[in-house]
Amino acid sequence: MIFLTTLPLFWIMISASRGGHWGAWMPSSISAFEGTCVSIPCRFDFPDELRPAVVHGVWYFNSPYPKNYPPVVFKSRTQVVHESFQGRSRLLGDLGLRNCTLLLSNLSPELGGKYYFRGDLGGYNQYTFSEHSVLDIISTPNIVVPPEVVAGTEVEVSCMVPDNCPELRPELSWLGQDGLGEPAVLGRLREDEGTWVQVSLLHFVPTREVNGHRLGCQASFPNTTLQFEGYASLDVKYPPVIVEMNSSVEAIEGSHVSLLCGADSNPPPLLTWMRDGTVLREAVAEILFLELDEVTPGEDGVYACLAENAYGQDNRTVELSVMYAPWKPTVNGTVVAVEGETVSISCSTQSNPDPILTIFKEKQILATVIYESELQLELPAVTPEDDGEYWCVAENQYGQRATAFNLSVEFAPMILLESHCAAARDTVQCLCVVKANPEPAVAFELPSRNVTVNETEREFVYSERSGLLLTSILTLRGQAQAPPRVLCTSRNLYGTKSLELPFQGAHRLMWAKIGPVGAVVAFAILIAIVCYITQTRRKKNVTESPSFSAGDNPPVLFSSDFRISGAPEKYESQRRLGSERRLLGLRGEPPELDLSYSHLDLGKRPTKDSYTLTEELAEYAEIRVK
């Protein structure tokens, strides 16, 4: 509320006049609405020893000195005034009572200015007072708003209009106060310098929504068309509220991201983008963008926008999710284990979204998880079959990465069933196939001879390793008598294994003992038998045919009866032997071990080669058939 001091001007003048000197008292400023009137209160005094019979006075406009010929507003002696004030000025006070109050009517803007009073007591007793009053012609009410209006705090807004026209009294009303509160009219109040005002008060609690609202006051004069309106915009101070911001943002690695933060406050806020306590950008603005070029997974996280001013602060966060393909998986865990132990292997990666993780071996899936960043593989009681290369593969919709790792299972030697011995004439070869990890030491023992041959004796033993398999071959020459017993012994730090190697392929051994000459003889006998059976069946078919006669078509020539004129008999036998071998599919016997004659020391060759013997046997077989 505005408190106005209402000290009567009259008592001020009385107390001052007791001094007995020239002086005047009037308001230094006074205002009035255009088209209305104004009463300028005025009191003057002069020395007590002057006892004038009649007291006159003059009001001047804008100058106190007569020699400057200022416009005369009012003159008590002659009633002659300036044309601008004709019919507009009138003295309300009694000069004999030292009251010089002036009334001006039908005010117009050109009447605004300074007004001086000059006392005329006759003769030389004339005095122009330096005190003056400034008249202000207004057209709008005065709305007084507190210098600071804060949201949530009650305020008082006043509407004040001059009320110095005794002929017209103003009435006040508020415009645009709906929702703000009910006005309280205080009525007519006297100011410090003796002027009067009409005051209306409006109390309300402002909110941020009424910031900038135009609040009006209207002064009207009854029985006239005079109306005057004035407006004031409410400048409501309030703390920031973040009103615009991204929701959660998803972006692919390498793309551009723009984060927006907008706040409403008065005065404008200081906007700050932060991440993990680090200021990324700030500015005094209503909207602030944070630009991120070529985002990386390291920029994934929560971003905060802080808005603050002198009246408070607000903050909000937004989560940026950077989508990217899985990183190369990391494998932790046991890579070397002893047979029977439990193996635990962990495969982990990082991606967004979480990947599908799979561990497989030789295209067989062993373990898999969906939308998780870590996969655990448990292998209870590992066996040698678990040894080998494994793959951990991580994939999502943005890519795939894989990591290979090896599990090494250590175990005692195992001698495989394909280990055996084979003999060809006077040579014995023994094959010992061992599976073990770490690599074993292999030795061949001949118990009957109390001899042990190991891998270091390269003249007799050849070894080759492939993966977990170690193949050792023992070669013994000059074994004309019965082959000896052979034991294969393999050992490493986890154990020892021995096995007596069996002799395999008894039919091969028989052919080796017969030798090449015996093989050719047996082969020729077999061919003769086949030829005999063939000739017998052909003759039987010819004899039983009822349609055959000498005058019919020439007889069919079978391959066994075909002759080349003049060819030696032995060439015919050779042709027949080749034909029968093709018929029977006899193309030789593929050896499992390399025991051909070229690799064996067979000693002295036969005196008659196998070709000649085969030829004679073929001729013999042909004579028997005929």
Task: Show Cβ contacts of residue 605 under 8 Å, excluding neighbours closer than 6 positions.
Answer: none
* 354-393 residue pLDDT tens: 999 999 999 899 999 999 999 999 999 999 999 999 999 9
Amino acid at the residue 533: I
Determine the Cα–Cα distance for residues 612 and 617; give it in Å rounded to an integer: 9
Q: Tens digits of per-residue pLDDT, 604-617?
A: 333 333 333 334 33
Higher local confidence (pLDDT), 543 or 203: 203
CB 103 within 8 A of CB 10: no
pLDDT tens for each residue of 296-345? 999 999 999 999 999 999 999 999 999 999 999 999 877 899 999 999 99
Work out the pLDDT band at 538, boundaries 50, 70, 90.
Answer: low
Contact (CB, 8 A) for 468 and 436: yes
Query: What DSSP string describes 473-487?
Result: EEEEE---SSPPP-E
How many whole angstroms separate alpha carbon 569 and alpha carbon 1? 153
pLDDT value, residue 477: 83
pLDDT exceeds 70 at position 568: no
pLDDT at 619 over 90: no
Residue 137, pLDDT > 50, answer yes
* Residue % of the chain over a pLDDT of 70: 77
User: Considering only 136-140, 389-393, 451-455, 520-524, which range has the smallest mean pLDDT?
Assistant: 520-524
Residue % of the chain over a pLDDT of 90: 62
Reported as a single tens digit per residue, the pLDDT across 468-526 is: 999 999 998 876 566 788 999 999 999 999 999 998 864 444 444 444 545 455 566 76
Q: Is the pLDDT of residue 622 over 70?
A: no
The pLDDT of 431-455, averaged and rounded, is 92
- Which two three-digit tokens encode residue 355? 């990947």
550: pLDDT strictly greater than 60: no
pLDDT exceeds cutoff 90 at 569: no
Give the residue from 276, 258, 274, 259 showing the smallest Cα distance to 308.
274
What residues have CB less than 8 Å from 282, skipping those under 6 apart? 270, 271, 272, 273, 288
Structure tokens at 493: 């730090």
By the 10 Å C-beta count (0-12 exposed, 13-18 middle, 19+ buried), 238 is classed as buried
Which residues neighbour 460 within 8 Å (Cβ) at sequence distance 6 or greater?
444, 453, 474, 475, 476
> Residue 598 CB: number of other CB atoms within 10 A?
7
Token pair of 82, please?
């300036």
Tokens of 489: 């012994």
Q: Report whether pLDDT(594) > 50.
A: no
Q: Which residue has the higher pLDDT, 400 or 15?
A: 400
Q: How many CB atoms lie within 10 A of CB 289?
A: 14
Residue 215 one-letter amino acid: L
Confidence class of residue 571 from pLDDT cuts 50, 70 and 90? very low
Take residue 9 and report the two structure tokens written for it.
């001007």
The two counts, helices (H) then strands (E), for the chain are: 4, 42
- Rounded to the nearest 5°, which phi and psi values hold at 72? -90, 125
Q: DSSP letters of 150-186? A: ETTS-EEEEEEEE---TT---EEEEES-TTT--EEEE
List Cβ neighbours of 103 (8 Å cut-off, separation of 6 or more): 37, 38, 39, 40, 89, 90, 91, 92, 166
Residue that wins the pLDDT comparison between 542 and 54: 54
